[in-house]
Amino acid sequence: MKKSIIHIIGGSAICLAFASSAFAQTADGSILYTPKVDVTSLAQNSFAGTVGGIFLTTYSYYPQVNYLGYADPTGAALVNSHVVTLWDNSSGAVIASATVPAGTAAPLIDGFRWVQLSSTVTLNYGSYYVIGAQTYGVDLWGDLINNTAVDNGNNGQISWSSQYVQLGSGWEFTRAGRYDSAADYPGEPPYQTSVSDSIYPAANLGYNIVPVPEPATLTIAGIGAAWLLGVVAKRKRISSQD
């Protein structure tokens, strides 16, 4: 009887460990920002180079990224493939990069086509990062969009995610559009618009954009569930023999 209780506790602990780790993660379906304006209605920027923006991560916890996306606001097939890159602003180092293919193969969600990274990248809290995409003046992505102070995250043309950026009045200066010529890639785009609380809406990032559980997560949950089922079955067999 004591062994059965120990087994039950062990199986429950595995399931609870799985649940705890899930609560600690960035919420599924989170993306850095969502345009609140139809970007196809804006004057289309035909700039060829790298466009995106700089942002300060939230001080609440460590945000996670496992998808990078490129704008496709019309849902049409992309004419070109586009490299999307995430830089650590403190070092200028590339910490994630992915190529969104031409056509419609990449899943289209919230006006962006997404490509999954080979592994999840965890960002530091309260740190600056730069997101950017290579553009060629063909596929539509709009032009600079921005919010106006006082901004709690969605006062204007952008809905920023609290999963990634530090929101609230007084933090508007921590976000701004960035750009550079194609020749300087893979260097971090250094040129910044004077408009704060803005971004060039070509590149985006997110976590578990396509809601498919990771294999390792399923394995852990399965082990816990199988353990509990095995203990219950064993207790039933013992009871039937008494």
The pLDDT mean for the chain works out to 85
pLDDT, tens only, 9-50: 444 444 434 433 333 579 999 999 999 999 999 999 999 999
The residues spanned by each domain of the chain are 27-209
- What is the Cα–Cα distance from 240 to 242, expressed in whole angstroms? 6
Nearest to 142 by CA among 38, 33, 50: 38
Scan for tokens 């709690």, then name that residue.
152
How many CB atoms neighbour CB 65 within 10 A? 23
- What is the Cα–Cα distance from 108 to 101, expressed in whole angstroms? 12
Question: Does the model's pTM come out above 0.85?
Answer: no
- What is the Cα–Cα distance from 175 to 178, expressed in whole angstroms? 10
pLDDT, tens only, 168-217: 999 999 999 999 999 999 999 999 999 999 999 999 999 998 754 444 44
- What is the Cα–Cα distance from 52 to 202, expressed in whole angstroms? 6
In CATH, the number for domain 27-209 is: 2.60.120
Instruction: Establish whether the linkage from the previous residue to 101 is cis, with ω within 30° of 0.
Output: no
